[in-house]
Structure 1
């Protein structure tokens, strides 16, 4: 296993899930009144949703394997377009999200999974071309690192849920970082694949 691939997987997980960290912190904040059971529901839901994202990404990457090799670098246009769309949306909306401090029993695992999957549309758009280029061995490394990353994100989300100042900062800037990262990933895929003669 190449340490370079592991490092790339860690970096990709972190930057494509910045927004999810905010959502997790909010879910854990809602689940405070549910104690340990509420926290476990959030973790279970996060894993269910993220496994669904990975399954969709792997299926998409295997389908991409049916494409001619010269076409694969152009899949970088997808995260590039998603990043540009997200940046445009931020520029137009500039909406603030309020954090609630009131403890409740929290969401069900299925609610967390549904939100995680719905929030992961951009992730799928990024992961498909990367998985398609990585090959089977690289894809396994990415999946293992991502699943470990979900555990780290759950721990971090629980931590942030108890520190409202940090959670508000993530809520304020996480949505700005994501489009930049998506645009960067798209450009890297295009340049590394020599798309458009780059």
Structure 2
């Protein structure tokens, strides 16, 4: 029984988060060679995903923190971050002068968390009914498996970002790809959710 739930949790996580590997790879490429960047990306990924789990878990048991009509507007987060990254790339300052003192450059944990949460906003709708039918014990299994897989996803993202061919491509085009992916992701979330009557 428990093995069945673990298998379902692995499958559900993989299906709903496959696009996260691309975003993580871009973040890891952006932070390459910068002290502490990988740690900040992992922390941000965990923060964003923990927030998703908290909202979905609460909604499964009747509490609603985010009305359903708000979810499409989460697309504004990656859209704003993508525009900020595009502005930096346009100015030719791929170095993150506004990341704050002592950040070491690269994406910050809150930036990664915001993108993770916004990108997973549609996952909430999938997770809620699953969590509601799983009960408290099942929800615990899903949470443990999901949080374990977040670590696997971070390793996969870093792995892809450090492959020589991929690393060269991301090094050359990452300053263009990251804003494009974030802006595209934001627009997709807004349009698919029907935000602003789109």
TM-score range with shorter-chain normalisation? Answer: 0.5 to 0.7
Give the equivalent residue in structure 2 for 1:59: 58
- Give the gaps of 5 or more residues in structure 2: 73-88, 97-104, 171-176, 178-183, 185-198
Give the equivalent residue in structure 2 for 1:137: 137
- Give the gaps of 5 or more residues in structure 1: 65-77, 83-99, 176-198
TM-score (norm 2): 0.62
Matched residues in 2 for 1:156 and 1:8: separation? Answer: 20
Residues 51-130 of structure 1: pairs in structure 2 closer than 5 A: 51-63=50-62, 105-130=105-130
Does 2:46 match 1:47? Answer: yes
Structure 1 SS opposite 2:32: helix
How many aligned residue pairs are there?
A: 136
Give the equivalent residue in structure 2 for 1:67: none
CA contact (8 A) 1:45 1:111 kept: yes
Matched residues in 2 for 1:14 and 1:149: separation? Answer: 8
Q: Could you say what the CA RMSD is over the residues aligned between the two structures, in angstroms?
A: 2.8
* Structure 1 residues 8 and 103: alpha-carbon distance in aligned structure 2, compared to 1, 3 A threshold: farther
CA contact (8 A) 1:58 1:131 kept: yes
Structure 2 SS opposite 1:5: helix
Give the equivalent residue in structure 1 for 2:22: 22
Matched residues in 1 for 2:4 and 2:95: separation? Answer: 42
Q: Deviations over 1:142-193 (max 9, x none)?
A: 000000000100101100112355999xx9xxx9xxxxxxxxxxxxxxxxxx
TM-score (norm 1): 0.62
Structure 2 SS opposite 1:33: coil
